[in-house]
């Protein structure tokens, strides 16, 4: 993923380095649960600056994480190629496409930028910048139309080019991946929060066990834009992997309390068997069993 901005002598584009807390002259590496995240700048001048986030996914670490508990994969969350849970650990698109793994890396590497904090230049986080974000390969369950429905209401100009399954065999048809390019004038913190929430929403297959604190993460990242989004219900259901949450507003909302209580009561760790037949299915089970209204991509 790349983030670019433009500027001039009075307001140089290299201010992006202050906002991201990453020096344009240095290439840096950060360990994450899914592999090493690399941050570097392909170009850095007063007129134009581009920061790149590259996640070098470690497939072996993902398989080990799938067997190790909440810090690892969430069973079917490792999907992306094969549909069998065992085979999907080894044959999937995680090393090649943006997903929840990239969203986790974004949060780990750009934590201060996500919070809108810049001690060296405190005036910068509140400034809207001309931004361009590019994601070369993005899984999009719902296609380009859903990509536009999610991102255009947030102030982005959206280009979502469908990628073919195989460029050498066009008769095979299109894949479920798009080449995404976003342009708009936004605060960097807002742009990063949009990406942190919507990358896994479009992928619709989180790689890790979804704990109750995911509700709090969604509230923080969605503050200021999610409550009024026309696709709020779809975003919430997909981000929380269809946990029950009716109204994602600030603390005290009845829906948030229900989701937290439901997560503690119904959360299962990898390897724990699901009880079949009888028992209390609950709202989370009902949500998993039916696609939300307006979510045609969810298989029946």
Summarize the confidence of residues 280-288 as an average pLDDT.
37
Angle (CA) 6-10-14 rounded to 5° is 45
d(C-alpha 100, C-alpha 228), whole Å: 23
| Residue 172 within any structural domain of the chain | yes
Q: 27-36, 104-113, 217-226, 274-283 — which is least confidently predicted?
A: 274-283
222 domain-assigned:
no
Regarding whether 168 and 83 lie in a shared domain, the answer is: yes
pLDDT in tens, 161-209: 999 999 899 999 999 999 999 999 999 999 999 999 999 999 887 655 5
Residues 130 and 245 in one domain: no
The per-residue pLDDT for 286 is: 35
- Tell whether 216 is covered by a domain: no
Q: 81 with 203, same domain?
A: yes
How confident is the model over 73-127, as pLDDT tens digits?
443 444 444 444 566 666 677 778 888 889 999 999 999 999 999 999 999 999 9
Q: What is the DSSP string of 204-258?
A: ---SB---TTHHHHHHHHHTTTSTT-TTHHHHHHHHTTT---S---STT-HHHHH
Higher pLDDT, 296 or 12: 12
Same domain, 157 and 279: no
3-state secondary structure of 106: helix
224 within some domain: no
250 shares a domain with 113: no
Which stretches does DSSP call E strand in the chain? Answer: 2-6, 28-32, 35-44, 48-57, 129-139, 157-164, 174-186
Give the pLDDT confidence score for residue 157 in this predicted structure.
Answer: 98
pLDDT category at 274 given cuts 50, 70, 90 is very low
Whether 85 and 174 map to the same domain: the answer is yes
Measured CA distances, 76 to 56, 85, 101, 142 (Å): 21, 6, 14, 19
My answer on whether 247 and 202 are in the same domain is: no
Within 10 A of 258 (CB to CB), how many other CB atoms are there?
18
pLDDT tens digits along 146-172: 999 999 999 999 999 999 999 899 999
221-241 pLDDT per residue, tens? 999 999 999 999 999 999 987
Identify whether residues 55 and 198 lie together within a single domain.
yes
pTM score, whole prediction = 0.74
- Whether residue 189 is found in the same domain as residue 65: yes
Report the run of H or E that residue 65 belongs to, with start and end: helix 59-66
Same domain for 171 and 74: yes
Domain that holds residue 247: 229-292
Q: How many domains are there within the chain?
A: 2
Residues 47 and 7 in one domain: yes
The mean predicted confidence, pLDDT, of the chain is 78
Q: Are 101 and 55 in contact (CB under 8 A)?
A: yes
Q: Classify residue 218: in a domain, yes or no.
A: no
């Amino acid at each position: 993923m790349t983030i670019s901005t433009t500027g001039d002598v009075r307001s140089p584009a290299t201010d992006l380095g202050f906002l991201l807390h990453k020096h344009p002259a240095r290439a840096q590496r950060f360990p994450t649960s899914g592999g090493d995240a690399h941050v570097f700048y392909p170009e850095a001048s007063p007129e134009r600056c581009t920061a790149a986030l590259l996640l070098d996914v470690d497939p072996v670490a993902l398989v080990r994480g799938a067997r190790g508990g909440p810090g690892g994969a969430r069973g079917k969350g490792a999907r992306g190629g094969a549909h069998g849970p065992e085979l999907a650990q080894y044959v999937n698109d995680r090393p090649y496409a943006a997903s929840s793994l990239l969203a986790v890396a974004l949060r780990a590497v750009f934590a201060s930028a996500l919070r809108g904090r810049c001690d060296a230049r405190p005036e910068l986080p509140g400034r809207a910048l001309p931004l361009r974000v590019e994601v070369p390969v993005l899984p999009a369950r719902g296609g380009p139309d859903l990509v536009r429905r999610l991102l255009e209401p947030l102030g982005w100009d959206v280009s979502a080019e469908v990628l073919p399954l195989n460029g050498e065999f066009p008769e095979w048809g299109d894949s479920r991946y798009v080449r995404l390019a976003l342009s708009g004038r936004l605060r960097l913190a807002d742009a990063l929060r949009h990406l942190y929430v919507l990358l896994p929403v479009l992928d619709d297959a989180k790689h890790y066990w979804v704990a109750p604190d995911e509700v709090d993460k969604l509230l923080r990242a969605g503050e200021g834009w999610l409550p009024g989004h026309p696709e709020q219900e779809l975003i919430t259901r997909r981000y929380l992997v269809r946990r029950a949450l009716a109204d994602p507003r600030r603390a005290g909302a009845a829906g948030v309390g229900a989701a937290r209580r439901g997560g503690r009561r119904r959360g299962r760790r990898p390897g724990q068997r699901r009880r079949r037949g009888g028992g209390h299915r609950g709202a989370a089970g009902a949500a998993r069993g039916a696609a939300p209204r307006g979510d045609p991509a969810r298989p029946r």
